[in-house]
Amino acid sequence: MDIFAKCYKPSIADEAREREIYPYFHALESRQDTEVIMEGKRRIMLGSNNYLGLTTHPEVIEAGVHALEKYGSGCSGSRFLNGTLELHLQLEAELAAFLRKEAVTTFSTGFQSNLGIVSAIVGLGDYVVMDRENHASLYDACRLSFGKMLRFRHNDMEDLEKKLASIPESAGCLIVTDGVFSMGGDIANLPEICRLAKQYGARVMVDDAHGLGVIGEGGRGTASYYGLEDEVDVYMGTFSKSLASLGGYMAASRRVIDYVKHASRPFIFSASIPPAGCACALAALKILERSPELPETLQERALFMRRKLHEANIRMRESNGERIPIIPIYTYEPIPTLTIAKELYERGVYVNPTLPPAVAPGECLLRTSLMATHTEALIEEAVGTIADVLREHRIGE
């Protein structure tokens, strides 16, 4: 059998192209901002993870340009060997202080961070216990490790306890959860997760990619939001969202960080974050440190948009995080979802259509996300357009 045979089977992407509703790879012709130019037209951007709007901040851009001039375009090696810059060390020290952890190490991407952390910590005979709605990178991380993965129903603490109770006392166990879930925009039940971890002798890792800069004291994330910074053993996060760059990080005790730096294949065998990216993330972090009002503004924008959607009788996915800037709107089935996303795009609003397996069958969504720099006027304009299109498709009636 030809191994390429699978590549030629009919797919939802093929059907979407035939119907001219294919939603992916639209070309951005301007900066990542609240309003962008995509394929020659102005669009309100409701599909970015640029939560604090810092990708266009003059200080962030200046830092990147200066680093490019001083250090060149890349490091040409891994952190383990020749690829460690003083900038990497500055960023790690600053981030560790901000997150109130002993140490931080950085990875080239957020996806790679999860691969590198979990595969290093979870070994043969160990268990990793995962929320079913965790990010795809965590699932791949479990596959890369030699441990056994168990999944519990989303935010279901009774099911989590059943899984923990089934694990032999002699086995190591890591509970892994998103802090803020990227599709639903809801928040993990971290107090109960930490309580169960103590009861069953497990450790806790939080993927806070969508929590940093969004919730917690001054934007410190999910553990801070609950006052559990000392109870969470490992934080993971990214620079591609609130910190307006590219890369990822792990925050933990100094000893655990040192172990991962010497045991993680994705860390050891990957080139380090380029100088400009590192400098941009550091500049964005400094802005966040001195501007605690930025996460507060972001949360206010989320509340405002939810209120406007509710007034327009638009059904959103239920969430325990009404201040989270990820707002999923139900569209139910794949083809209508893609059709609606295409019509919104043509009318000047960019959103992300979300289909199975990212969501359950029959629960397709338009995933919208906000920035602190969105104005209320822009949000009202976008909601008006969304309401018009959904009404035309008789969704929500």
pLDDT tens string for the chain (397 positions)?
A: 999 999 999 999 999 999 999 999 999 999 999 999 999 999 999 999 999 999 999 999 999 999 999 999 999 999 999 999 999 999 999 999 999 999 999 999 999 999 999 999 999 999 999 999 999 999 999 999 999 999 999 999 999 999 999 999 999 999 999 999 999 999 999 999 999 999 999 999 999 999 999 999 999 999 999 999 999 999 999 999 999 999 999 999 999 999 999 999 999 999 999 999 999 999 999 999 999 999 999 999 999 999 999 999 999 998 898 999 999 999 999 999 999 999 999 999 999 999 998 888 999 999 999 999 999 999 999 999 999 999 999 886 5
CATH topology assigned to domain 3-51+293-392? Aspartate Aminotransferase, domain 1 (3.90.1150)
**111: which 2 tokens?**
């996806």
Query: Domain map of the chain by residue range?
Result: 3-51+293-392, 58-290
Task: Say which of 119, 182, 242, 245 is annotated catalytic.
Answer: 182
Taking the C-alpha atoms of residue 259 and residue 169, their distance in angstroms, rounded to an integer, is: 23
Residue 359 has what pLDDT? 87
User: What are phi and psi for residue 98, nearest 5 degrees?
Assistant: -65, -40
Taking the C-alpha atoms of residue 118 and residue 115, their distance in angstroms, rounded to an integer, is: 6
Q: Which residues of 309-337 are buried (b: 16+ CB within 10 A; e: fewer)?
A: beeeebebbebebebbbbbbbbbeebebb
Task: Say which of 101, 135, 241, 342 is annotated catalytic.
Answer: 241
The distance from CA 294 to its chain's CA centroid, rounded to whole angstroms, is 18
Residue 357 has what pLDDT? 86
Taking the C-alpha atoms of residue 227 and residue 211, their distance in angstroms, rounded to an integer, is: 14
**122: which 2 tokens?**
């979870």
Task: Say which of 101, 135, 210, 342 is annotated catalytic.
Answer: 210
Does CATH place domain 58-290 in 3.40.640.10? yes
Residue 396 has what pLDDT? 65
* Active-site annotation holds for 154: no
Residue 358 has what pLDDT? 84
Q: 114: part of which helix (H) or strand (E)?
A: helix 110-121
Query: What single-letter amino acid sits at 105?
Result: T
Taking the C-alpha atoms of residue 294 and residue 275, their distance in angstroms, rounded to an integer, is: 26
Residue 319 has what pLDDT? 87
* Active-site annotation holds for 182: yes
Helix/strand/coil for 345: helix
* Active-site annotation holds for 198: no
